[in-house]
A = this chain, B = another copy of it.
Amino acid sequence: MRKIYFLFVFTAVSFLSFAQIEDSLAIRRIADEILINSKAYENLHYLTKQIGGRLAGSPGMVKAEQWGLKVMKGSGADKTWLQECLVPHWVRGGKDEAKAVSIRKGSAVPKPLNTPLDVIALGNSIGSGAKWIKADVLYVNSFDELEAKKDEVKGKIVFYNHKFNPTYVSTFLAYRDAVQYRGQGPSRAAKYGAVAVIIRSMSHSADNYPHSGATRYDSLYAKIPAIAIGLRDADWLDHNLQAGIVTVQLKTNGHFLPDTTGHNVIGEIKGTEFPDEIITIGGHLDSWDNCEGAHDDGAGSVQTMEVLRAFKAIGYKPKRTIRFVLFANEENGLRGGNKYADEAKEKNEKHIFAIESDAGGFTPRSLGFTVSDEQFKKVMAWKELIAPYGCSEFTRGGGGADIGPLNKSLSTPMGSLNPDSQRYFDIHHARNDVFEAVNKRELELGAVNIAALIYLVDKYGL
Q: Which residues of A contact B (CB under 8 A)?
A: 1-9, 11, 31-32, 35-36, 41, 166-167, 169-173, 176, 204, 206, 213, 296-297, 330, 356, 358-359, 363, 365-366, 368, 370, 388-390, 392-393, 395-401, 404, 416, 418, 420, 422-423, 426, 428-429, 439-442, 445
Chain B contacts of A172 at CB under 8 A? 5, 8
Chain B contacts of A4 at CB under 8 A? 370, 397-401, 404, 416
- Whether the pair A167, B35 counts as a contact (CB closer than 8 A) is yes
- Complex Cα–Cα for A445 and B429 (A): 24
- Complex Cα–Cα for A130 and B359 (A): 55
Q: List 25 A-B contacts (CB under 8 A).
A: A1-B330, A1-B401, A1-B429, A2-B399, A2-B416, A4-B398, A4-B404, A5-B172, A5-B173, A5-B176, A6-B397, A7-B173, A7-B395, A7-B397, A8-B172, A9-B169, A9-B170, A11-B396, A169-B389, A363-B422, A420-B420, A422-B441, A422-B442, A423-B442, A426-B439
Contacts A9-B169, A365-B365 known; 9 new A-B pairs at CB < 8 A: A1-B213, A1-B359, A1-B429, A2-B399, A3-B404, A4-B399, A5-B176, A6-B397, A363-B420
- Whether the pair A1, B418 counts as a contact (CB closer than 8 A) is no
- Chain B CB within 10 A, most for which of A4, A330, A368: A4
A216 smallest CB distance to B (angstroms): 12
- Whether the pair A390, B428 counts as a contact (CB closer than 8 A) is no
Chain B contacts of A173 at CB under 8 A? 5, 7-8
| Partner pick for A169 among B36, B167, B388, CB 8 A cutoff | B388
- Complex Cα–Cα for A36 and B4 (A): 33
Nearest-neighbor residue (CB-CB) of A428 within chain B:
B1
- Complex Cα–Cα for A26 and B199 (A): 35
**With A172-B5, A440-B204 in contact, do A167 and B32 touch (Cβ < 8 Å)?**
yes
- Complex Cα–Cα for A41 and B206 (A): 10
Chain B contacts of A359 at CB under 8 A? 1-2
